[in-house]
Copies of this chain bind each other. A is one copy, B any other.
Amino acid sequence: MNAQQGRLSVVGLGPGADELVTDQVRAAIAAASDAFGYFPYVARLSGLEHVKLHASDNREELERAREALNTAAEGRQVLMLSSGDPGVFAMASAVFEMLDHAQPQEQARWAAVDIEVLPGITAMLAASARLGAPLGHDFCTINLSDNLKPALVIERRIQLAAQADFAMAFYNPCSKSRPEGFERALRVLRAECEPDRLICFARNVSRPDETLQVHRLADVTAEMADMRTLVIVGNSCTRRVGKHVYTPRSYAV
């Protein structure tokens, strides 16, 4: 009898509410034997007796990917959990990095693993929906964390994005270990954009403690964003209508 083929499904759980999980991801969870991920994501599967849970801290993404690949190579049906979408500043790239830089012995062991990525509702699109439609025209998506790239690259990207008049979604605007991330971004925005530019702060979207705020750039302060905030910067045409914020589809010069 051949052993069952191992599978690693890198899945997105969405921003928090169960109603934002896709059926595709639900089916993968139902078929899984093991689940790896950061503590709070793994906690969302607690109570499922058929799944062995392997929780780890953040900043341990590559080691987590290695263990998940090793487990899948034993013929198990393994989940790698991300919140939001696994392809946006989450675990999918970490898994492929680990594969790409594997030692020959690991490569041989992992060759038979079937790897799939199952999309989810990423934070910026959940936030955009709750706010209205601030990302309804061309936009860009920037991780403000300088853990894995130089702060100067981030500042340069924000500057060029403002010159292109993209709306922008900022992930990980700051954290306890990087309190200055969003403040640096604000300095660039103030140099490039008009004071009336709309800046949206969406915290814990789709959870019971969700908060939404919209301010003019001139009124924004750095402490409005923390590590659980998704920031959306409008483009020069972004407007309010009633309680909503939207970016028009048309753009004139």
Contacts and interface: CB of A to CB of B under 8 A. Distances in A.
B96 A132 contact: yes
B136 A92 contact: yes
Contacts of A129: 85-87, 92, 117-119
A204 interface: no
B23 A93 contact: no
Given A88-B136, A161-B140, A23 B27 contact: no
* A-side interface size class: 35 or more
Nearest to A107: B242
Contacts of A120: 121
Given A126-B119, A129-B87, A152-B253, A138 B141 contact: yes
A142 B138 CA distance: 5
The secondary-structure label for the interface of chain A is mixed
A3 interface: no
Nearest to A242: B99
B23 A241 contact: no
A140 B88 CA distance: 12
A77 interface: no
A94 interface: yes
A140 B21 CA distance: 24
A58 interface: no
Given A119-B128, A126-B119, A149-B251, A99 B241 contact: yes
Interface in A173-222: none
Given A86-B133, A117-B132, 14 more contacts: A21-B22, A92-B133, A93-B247, A96-B136, A99-B242, A100-B239, A119-B129, A122-B125, A140-B140, A148-B251, A149-B251, A152-B253, A156-B164, A161-B164
